[in-house]
Amino acid sequence: MKPDIILTAKGHAGTMATLQAEFTAHNLFDAPSKESFFEKCADRVRGLATFGPMPVDGKLMDALPKLEIISNFGVGVDAINLEDAKKRRIIVTNTPDVLNDCVADTALALVMNTLRKFPQAEKYMRGGNWASRGPYPLTTSLGGKVLGVLGLGRIGEAIAQRAMACGMKIRYHNRNKKDVPYPYDPDPATLARNSDVLMVVTPGGPETHKLINEKVLQALGPEGYLVNIARGSVVDEPVLLRYLQEKKIAGAGLDVFADEPRVPPEFFTLDNAVLFPHVGSATVETRKGMGDLQIENLRRHFAGKPVLTRVV
Ligand code: 8YV
């Protein structure tokens, strides 16, 4: 008999198709009423395949008395209450590593686009301005600038490698100092003060909530740039918006926002911000790799084998 699982949201199409073929899948996102959805399947569901930011908390876990595993599509598990899962002995898995290169590419693209203003230059070109108004204004180089990595894990390291290839120098802050050849700063504000570009790569969740606050942005200063490819929750978004509007920082490159997919429209009018719709890992190859890992964790668990990438 195929194990019953719930798919929380409409995710990567290939992954969904495999999950639907290999398991008895219940699509929460299709349900006209959540109440009747749970009434029908709650007592049989042994797994959750989670996609996206829908919160998964103790209340949901308690509604599924047979729940054994939550297999997340994505490395970030901030939408899942890990303490609640641990208390209930529910396994949580994620999809690390397979997305490192892709997310690091996106991070470097944001650094380049934010400093060099390539999207704005392209818009200028398409607007027919080159011949009539002359060359696009000069921007600023990456080479020689300091990239401060907040959260130097595997993705942070992949970003550092790319930035060094462009002639940037690396510093970092983590909760614990690491055995790496980059200078360490004791807190985010000091890192911001010592950096030209502050790169946010920390996990989301309560521990990093609004870690990038006014104090940090002030330390980054009017010549400094912020790039966030982590989670919108890590930045105090209204303060960032004000700092960009008032040019209290030089610019920002953002792939993530506090309330996705809703983005405060004021961001769209900024000339000193480059905005991506959370595309960090969004390639065919990487999303397949993530899906394969999500599926493999479920397969292994239900076959009585240890999962590959356990978080709790
Ligand atoms: C995905 C991500 O956009 O891995 C993560 O934590 O944020 C991204 O790779 C997301 O998981 C898609 O649901």
* CA 285 – CA 233 distance, rounded (Å): 27
How many angstroms does the Cα of residue 294 sit away from the middle of ligand 1?
Answer: 12
Rg (CA), the chain: 21
Burial class (CB in 10 A: 0-12, 13-18, 19+), 95: buried
CB atoms within 10 A of CB 128: 9
What residue's CA is closest to ligand 1, atom 12? 52
- Backbone φ, ψ for residue 44 (5° rounding): -115, -15
Q: Which atom of ligand 1 is nearest to the CA of 73?
A: 11
* CA 69 – CA 312 distance, rounded (Å): 10
- Would you state the structure tokens that stand for residue 75, as one six-digit string? 């490395």
Amino acid 219: pLDDT: 99
* CA 297 – CA 172 distance, rounded (Å): 32
β-pair partners for 24: 4
What residue's CA is closest to ligand 1, atom 1? 74
Amino acid 251: pLDDT: 98
Q: What confidence tens digit (pLDDT) does each residue in 79-126 have? A: 999 999 999 999 999 999 999 999 999 999 999 999 999 999 999 999
| DSSP secondary structure of 114-167 | HHH-HHHHHHHHHTTHHHHH-SPPP---STTPEEEEES-SHHHHHHHHHHHHTT
* CA 117 – CA 138 distance, rounded (Å): 9
* CA 8 – CA 52 distance, rounded (Å): 8
What residue's CA is closest to ligand 1, atom 6? 76
* CA 54 – CA 308 distance, rounded (Å): 23
pLDDT in tens, the chain (312 residues): 999 999 999 999 999 999 999 999 999 999 999 889 999 999 999 999 999 999 999 999 999 999 999 999 999 999 999 999 999 999 999 999 999 999 999 999 999 999 999 999 999 999 999 999 999 999 999 999 999 999 999 999 999 999 999 999 999 999 999 999 999 999 999 999 999 999 999 999 999 999 999 999 999 999 999 999 999 999 999 999 999 999 999 999 999 999 999 999 999 999 999 999 999 999 999 999 999 999 999 999 999 999 999 999
* CA 83 – CA 70 distance, rounded (Å): 13
How many angstroms does the Cα of residue 144 sit away from the middle of ligand 1?
Answer: 31
Amino acid 27: pLDDT: 96
pTM score of the predicted model: 0.96
How many angstroms does the Cα of residue 133 sit away from the middle of ligand 1?
Answer: 41
Query: What are the residue numbers of the active site?
Result: 231, 260, 278
* CA 280 – CA 107 distance, rounded (Å): 7
Among candidate residues 117, 98, 66, 149, the one with its CA nearest the CA of residue 280: 98
| DSSP secondary structure of 264-292 | -GGGGG-SSEEE-SS-TT-SHHHHHHHHH
Q: Which atom of ligand 1 is nearest to the CA of 286?
A: 9
Cβ atoms 39, 33 nearer than 8 A:
no
